[in-house]
Structure 1
Amino acid sequence: MLRRKSSRVVGLGFGLSSVIVLASPNLALAEDVTEYQELKVERRILEEVVVSAQKVDQSSQDVPISLTTVSGDFMREIGATGLQDIAPYIPNVRFSSDTDPALAQINIRGFGSNPLNSAFDSSVGFVQDDIFFNRPSYYNEAMFDIARVEVLRGPQGTLFGKNTIAGVFNVTTKGPSEEFSGDVRFKRTDPTEESVELGVGGPITDWLGIRIAASDVSRDGQLENQFLNRQDDKHDQNGQRIKLLFTPIEQLSIELMGVRSETTANYWGLQLAKLDDGTRSFLENYDANIEDDPYNFTSSYNQPGFIGKTSDTLGLKTEWNIGPVGSLSNLSMAVVIGDTELTIDSMVDLDASPADLAILNVVSDYEQQSLEWRFTGMADSLFGIGTGVEFVVGAYVFDSRFRQNVEIAVGEDFGAYLTTEDAFQLIAGSAPPGSGVLGGLNLAGIGLISDLTAAAIGDDYVRLDYLLNVDAQAIFAQMSWSLSEKFVVTPGIRFNRENKVADASGAGVCQTAALGTPCLMESALSAEDYEERGLKRSEDDVSPKLSLQYYLNTDSNVFLTYARGFKSGGFNASSFGGEDLAFEPEEAATLEAGFKGEFFDNTLRLNAAVYQTQFDNLQVLAFNGAFFDVTNAASAISRGLEMDFVWLTPFEPLSVMGSLGLLDARYDSYPNAPAPVSAGVNSNQDLSGKRIAFAPEQSASITPTLIFPVFGLAVQTSVDLLYQGDQYTDGDLDPNSYLPGFTQVSARISLGAPDQSWALSLGVSNLTDERVLNQVLDTVFFPGTYNARQKSGRKVFGALSLAW
């Protein structure tokens, strides 16, 4: 049969991908407690990490893919408030923002989906408590009371379905425990952030258990808006979760879950960078102190942007251990039903400047229902061949509705902007020096022009409406077949069918439209009125997988895995003219070879993998000078190495964990890619053979930890060294979007009871206050000027944790 660990363990938890435990090497021989105590031999070992990456509970060391597991305890230890905080510890994983509550862009092995067009499904799948969520905004929802996070790299289409082309985040939250228990954590951070996380539960009766969890986070933020005198990244979020576990008979369990999350934030946290002389002169008329240093946590724009987000989720998971059936030694059935709704209401200053040029309002509603019905089982052999078989087979049904309304409205200063060089450049494609007339005007002159034009323009906006209905069905199967004690083959396949129906329309709205005069914003965006109803597309996909695994011994194995995945096509949600609304599906195939092993009596765990992935028909957003066009334009190849380890060193108080990612992701073919705006508006270039954006060639982390007693108390100290290599952060590989590599240092110390009933912690993230950027991209109205998103600066936090 497949490798399984069975050592009984006691002790304390630890960090990334593993748990430190104390155990006797001869515990299995002990007849009773007295004999065990007489052995007097204790040593540290690494506990088995159980995951559900293949839809069954198994050791992470038995899963033949590149996989990293992060425990909820480690997330709390480092002060993580979301998945973006653990990304630096995971090889070849990158988040484009530390704070954005809606536009989460996650890249694995260099690939992800730009969230600026909501028609794109995420390339990285998100699953929480066995429910697949098909919107990237869920990445920031209900990230509390976490048991573990599994990060599966590479296409995962066979078991997780569509839109997992780059990988999957598989999150499991805590459920009702066998005994009544609870924990609470209070944390305060400077700059000001306060949070509390609570979880409590246990058995109510012999057949009913409960767990209630809640979180409340309030963050003042670090980004000072000097024009509005407010923090542009102020953020408040609260969430609640309840789980009820019914066990009417021993073989049957029914878990009912309800989750609610609410977020409000100032939005959207961009800073100006690389102002050219003409743009600077224009904006100085509105803010005499306008500046373009993207590293000083200072912005200046006039509209008080905001976002409000609410999600509600209901889940029902039924598991029935049927037992032996025919030749099957054990058969189990699981049914997972999910129902969720997500609403977002946002307004942002589109030009991110003190001039009142344009306002972007976006309101969206999303709901989905899903059902997965699967069977798992075991047999002694297959057709009399081999030493054991484990299988999972099932069906999946998905239905969703997404509605979005977008308004891009003219601001009061738009008329004054139209006489600048920037406006001439966008309208004509280029502007001769001196074509703008406002650079030398004083504030009074600007104000007069703005007042006159604003009165003449009145309400003027472009409205885009989008409605998308999706239904999908799939059947899937996978088995792990032990041909011998050492050799395991794992074939799998998924058949998926998806139907999409969409309505898309765009129109200019203004007071002169009735006279046949084009609306101003519509002209500025080169938009045209259109209305397309009943757009339809159907897609069928087959996602196969095959793994070959060889166990060198009971603690080490090597594997070779081929897998294929796809991301569905769709219809552009932000088209300004109605042309080329449809885009095609994206496909990926990967070949991965890896090693998983434990050494030195289970005190060192080392996992490593090399891979190559071919992406075809890449869905890309091309910036056209005003907004983004959607197209399938490229193919790419990603090659690399991923490694992580945990080592309980011979010096007993010291343990070390770390990770390494090497990444070479390049466009294989991209002949008509957008060029930087410096080459002219709507210019093209050939990026074939060039590095893709958001693909640092190296990423690494190392965390040494000391645990030792002091006056009967347990002291734990840790230091993190986190490195991310150089990269481009805009798809046109504009040199201005190039970010050099950087290293950040974090440190923590905690003092607590040996039984972990309480702990007091002090920590610092970004200890040296390294000023680095997450992303640099083109502005909408100022060609040659850029918007930057800055990573968080130094944060000092203190936390009190209680458990019972």
Structure 2
Amino acid sequence: MNWRFCAAALLAAPACVVAQAQEAASEAPAVIAVPEPPAAAPAAATEPAQGQIQEVIVTAQKREQSLQDVPISVTAIDGSFMKDTGAADLAKVSVYVPNVRVDSHDIGSPQVFIRGFGTNAFNPSFESSVGLVQDEIYYGRPGYFTESLFDVDRVEVLRGPQGTLFGKNTIAGVYNVSTKNPGPLWEGEAHASYGSDEQQTVEAGVGGMLNDWAGLRVSGLYRHQDGQLYNSYLDRDEEAFYQKAGRIKLRLTPGESLRSDLIVQSSKTSAPFWPYQLYRLDSDTRNYLQSFDARVEDNPYDFRTEFNTAGRIQKGSSTAALNNKWEIGDLAGLHDASGVLILAGSRFHIDQFNELDVSPADIAWLDSHEHHKQLSAEARFSAEADSLFGLGQKVDFVAGGFFYDSRYQLRASINAGADLGSYLLTRDFCELAGVSPTLCGDGNTVSLPGLAILGTLTSPLTRGDNFAFDYTQDTLSLAGFGQMTWYLTEHWAITPGLRLNRERKKVDSSGTRNCTLDSLGVPVCVIATMLSAQNYEASGLSRSEADLSPKFVLQYFGDSGVNLYASYARGFKSGGFNSLSYTGDNLGFEPEKAQTYELGLKSTLLDNTLRFNATLYETKFRNLQVLAFNGVFFDVSNAGAATSRGVEGDLLWMTPWNPLQLMGSFGWLDAKYDHYSGAPAPVRNPQTGALQIGATQDLGGQRIAFAPRATATLTPTLSFSLFELDARVSGDVIYQGDQYTDTDLDPATHVAAYFEYAARLIVSSPQQAWTLTLGGNNLSDKRVLNQVIDATFFPGSYFAQQAAGRQLYAMLSFRF
């Protein structure tokens, strides 16, 4: 068995590479935390000396390249490193990637941010600012980010606009995921882990070549956990999670130059819903809620909540794809010519039911059903030439076309709960409705009673009261793209690129009020009145967009192991229509555009034992798309302009003391609104404490939410022998800077900077036939809030979502 080593490199998460040698044209090697001993002696011509850093191969530019040669701020993380650290999803992976944040606690609406920019996907009108590509298939909905992640070869995180090669909706960056392919030899692996809060994961993959022309890999995943957030009202765990998935890859090689991979995969996920706690309750709100549950409290750090609706979410996807690659070779003066054709289709759905007040009172709940289907095709041709018109040296290029057609449907309703009648006689309702404070009382000694029994008495009148949304969107995108790298000399190269994208969206949208009182001839629907909603029908909406996304890079390749690059790139995110409008007014919002400048350093020093990489950048956004709370629900709009500037990088050092390896990453981020007049103001004035529902503010010059100024990780790894076994100990020091977690920059939503610590012991047999990992994350049990937002129905109070506390785990892996 022939083995190759590769190690983490420029802007890669702390990781080294180990992968079985596979067909040279089939797939890149992976990246893991520490090199494993080879099963057989490596070839001297291809293996660096012991203790040196190995090469990492990525596909960040649609072709296999050394990470050190790619003029992009990119991090590559190996699937084995993910398993070692207990990272089962992209959110946990993100802590090792500078200037990146992924919040996936709401598995239906994950939030992904790179360099401070991202998308709050709670309003499904928004498409993601960060693209997701897996096995060269572009996935068009944010919910795909929380689909199952298993049998992973590597994850590449590309920061900054990637419009030239990856297209629309990659304005902040791209997650480029590669899963494992059938190798030349029949082999398999299995992993079983158990951890705190009943975390159980079983993952397995097996495959290889069946004969000279056919290969197969079959893999699967099962995950379950109870989670830490306990609902004392319902006596259940609100973060319980069930996920199962499977994938089949069939590889056909009918000729020496042709390879076809058929991929079929499916994933299903279910969970209670949703993981929020009450925070900073007003005295009148507390008194009202205690009439339903005397235990109600607003401590967001105790992993305890009390709400009455047994919410749930079920989501899943199925995908089929055919990836064809032709190795053409020499063609009309070109070398290493190849063609790629990728055809794919995918279906995705989310069915969710959850309450909107996160309290023991049954005020209102959401019933939502999303269905998405997409067809895509990409054709590429790449090759090399000896020069360009006889000038300079080698030229390599890639050019192609892209097609994407999707249909998205949303059927949702905001429904009255059984206790809504009692809520209508509370100070909170008076404040939202704009009723005079003298009528509502002062909220302490004199206020409306909000008696729980009133809900029971009035429930026959509010039963069936709702406001329903019906939204359908058809999207057609066509693009042509090209990029080449022209090596002017052995030290200098330029890379120009361009993508032309055209997109058309057609939308039918409507909002309808429904209620018992309406049917009785009393034209007053409670939910519609609370939301200031009215019936509307907006059919035949359409918008067409065209965009040019250019790119230009200047590279310098030094003789001393130091490479430099300077780049300019543009990207855009589609405009669209508000799918959760209450009135049908101002449905449209404009596309978001960005341009970025980068200066990058990629260095391999000290006789190939130290790799240090860094990128200095500035990105400017126009027509930034934002989701803002309006006192009752969420609006979508364009926020003007914003700028993000900063630095990010990492290092890997194979120290002079052979057993010790140091890895680290760092990011510094300054992301601000250039101008954003009419931005939502905090519901409660931070200075006076007075409520100011519907107020606005100018956030020009202010920080952007979800943009911590500094992030950093440091991971020392010590390798040693333990009873004739291979062993290593790793520890992580993780620093997360302070940040705001809501658009209005309310001080109550500010999360202070903090440190977290993780560690793991990994013991394996000399031939890596089995591996035992014992580890823990957040070992100090740091209590931190992921997000704080304004509470619906309780103005001046908040909902908080708590990050995970201490997590311990054990994993046993086998290779065969």
Match of 2:490 among 485, 489, 505: 485
Are 1:454 and 2:452 an aligned pair? no
Are 1:723 and 2:729 an aligned pair? no
Q: How does 1:353-502 map to 2 (within 5 A)?
A: 353-428=359-434, 431-432=437-438, 434-435=440-441, 446-502=451-507
Are 1:702 and 2:714 an aligned pair? yes
Q: Which residue of 2 aligns with 1:592?
A: 598
2:609 touches 2:653 (CA, 8 Å); kept in 1? yes
2:343 touches 2:377 (CA, 8 Å); kept in 1? yes
1:234: how far off?
A: 0.5
Q: Which residue of 2 aligns with 1:72?
A: 79
2:461 touches 2:517 (CA, 8 Å); kept in 1? no
Secondary structure in 1 aligned to 2:247? strand
AA partner of residue 703 (structure 1): T
Cα RMSD, aligned residues only: 2.1
Q: Using the alignment, how far apart are the partners of 1:112 and 1:738 within structure 2?
A: 18
Match of 2:16 among 8, 14, 19: 19
Q: Using the alignment, how far apart are the partners of 1:462 and 1:269 within structure 2?
A: 24
1:327: how far off?
A: 1.5
1:438: how far off?
A: 10
Are 1:145 and 2:157 an aligned pair? no
Are 1:117 and 2:123 an aligned pair? yes
Q: How does 1:173-572 map to 2 (within 5 A)?
A: 173-428=179-434, 431-432=437-438, 434-435=440-441, 446-514=451-519, 515=521, 517-553=523-559, 555-572=561-578
Offset from partner CA, 1:77-126 (integer Å, 9 cap, x none): 101110101111100001234x3321110000000011111010000000
Q: Which residue of 2 aligns with 1:803?
A: 815
Q: Which residue of 1 aligns with 2:759?
A: 747
Secondary structure in 2 aligned to 1:451? helix
Q: Which residue of 2 aligns with 1:713?
A: 725
Greater CA drift, 125-134 or 596-605: 596-605
Secondary structure in 2 aligned to 1:43? coil
1:450: how far off?
A: 1.3
Offset from partner CA, 1:505-564 (integer Å, 9 cap, x none): 001101222325121100000001000111000000000000000011263210001000
Offset from partner CA, 1:589-642 (integer Å, 9 cap, x none): 000001001112221111100000000001111211111111112210000000
Match of 1:786 among 798, 806, 809: 798
Q: Using the alignment, how far apart are the partners of 2:404 and 2:91 within structure 1?
A: 27
1:707: how far off?
A: 1.1
Q: Using the alignment, how far apart are the partners of 1:721 and 1:785 within structure 2?
A: 34
1:18: how far off?
A: 4.5
1:435: how far off?
A: 2.8
Match of 1:93 among 93, 100, 103: 100
2:461 touches 2:516 (CA, 8 Å); kept in 1? no
Q: Using the alignment, how far apart are the partners of 1:225 and 1:569 within structure 2?
A: 39
Offset from partner CA, 1:308-329 (integer Å, 9 cap, x none): 0110000110000111011201
**5+ residue gaps in structure 2?**
20-39, 686-691
Q: Which residue of 2 aligns with 1:758?
A: 770
Percent identity of the aligned residues?
45
Q: Using the alignment, how far apart are the partners of 1:564 and 1:735 within structure 2?
A: 34
Q: Which residue of 1 aligns with 2:688?
A: none
Q: Using the alignment, how far apart are the partners of 2:41 and 2:506 within structure 1?
A: 70
AA partner of residue 452 (structure 1): L
1:221: how far off?
A: 1.0
Greater CA drift, 743-752 or 426-435: 426-435
Match of 1:771 among 783, 791, 799: 783
1:378 touches 1:389 (CA, 8 Å); kept in 2? yes
2:77 touches 2:154 (CA, 8 Å); kept in 1? yes
AA partner of residue 64 (structure 1): P
AA partner of residue 714 (structure 2): I
Q: Using the alignment, how far apart are the partners of 2:443 and 2:491 within structure 1?
A: 78
Compared with structure 1, are the counterparts of its residues 436 and 525 closer, same or farther at alpha carbon in structure 2 (3 Å cutoff)? farther
Q: Using the alignment, how far apart are the partners of 1:574 and 1:774 within structure 2?
A: 25
1:12: how far off?
A: 8.5
Q: Using the alignment, how far apart are the partners of 1:35 and 1:17 within structure 2?
A: 23
Are 1:684 and 2:696 an aligned pair? yes
Compared with structure 1, are the counterparts of its residues 65 and 433 closer, same or farther at alpha carbon in structure 2 (3 Å cutoff)? farther
2:773 touches 2:810 (CA, 8 Å); kept in 1? yes
2:292 touches 2:452 (CA, 8 Å); kept in 1? no
Match of 1:577 among 583, 589, 606: 583
1:438 touches 1:446 (CA, 8 Å); kept in 2? no
Secondary structure in 1 aligned to 2:624? strand
Q: How many residues align?
A: 784
Compared with structure 1, are the counterparts of its residues 781 and 329 closer, same or farther at alpha carbon in structure 2 (3 Å cutoff)? same
1:389 touches 1:481 (CA, 8 Å); kept in 2? yes
Q: Which residue of 2 aligns with 1:732?
A: 744
AA partner of residue 16 (structure 2): V
AA partner of residue 259 (structure 2): S
Q: Using the alignment, how far apart are the partners of 1:392 and 1:437 within structure 2?
A: 67
AA partner of residue 480 (structure 1): T
Q: Using the alignment, how far apart are the partners of 2:629 and 2:86 within structure 1?
A: 37
1:185 touches 1:197 (CA, 8 Å); kept in 2? yes
Greater CA drift, 511-520 or 785-794: 511-520
Compared with structure 1, are the counterparts of its residues 205 and 533 closer, same or farther at alpha carbon in structure 2 (3 Å cutoff)? same
**5+ residue gaps in structure 1?**
1-7, 23-32
1:285 touches 1:442 (CA, 8 Å); kept in 2? no
AA partner of residue 571 (structure 2): G
Are 1:51 and 2:58 an aligned pair? yes
Offset from partner CA, 1:630-685 (integer Å, 9 cap, x none): 11122100000001111111111111111000000000001111100014111011
1:392 touches 1:479 (CA, 8 Å); kept in 2? yes
AA partner of residue 382 (structure 1): L
Structure 2 length as normaliser, TM-score?
0.94
1:745 touches 1:768 (CA, 8 Å); kept in 2? yes
1:419 touches 1:438 (CA, 8 Å); kept in 2? no
1:21 touches 1:44 (CA, 8 Å); kept in 2? no
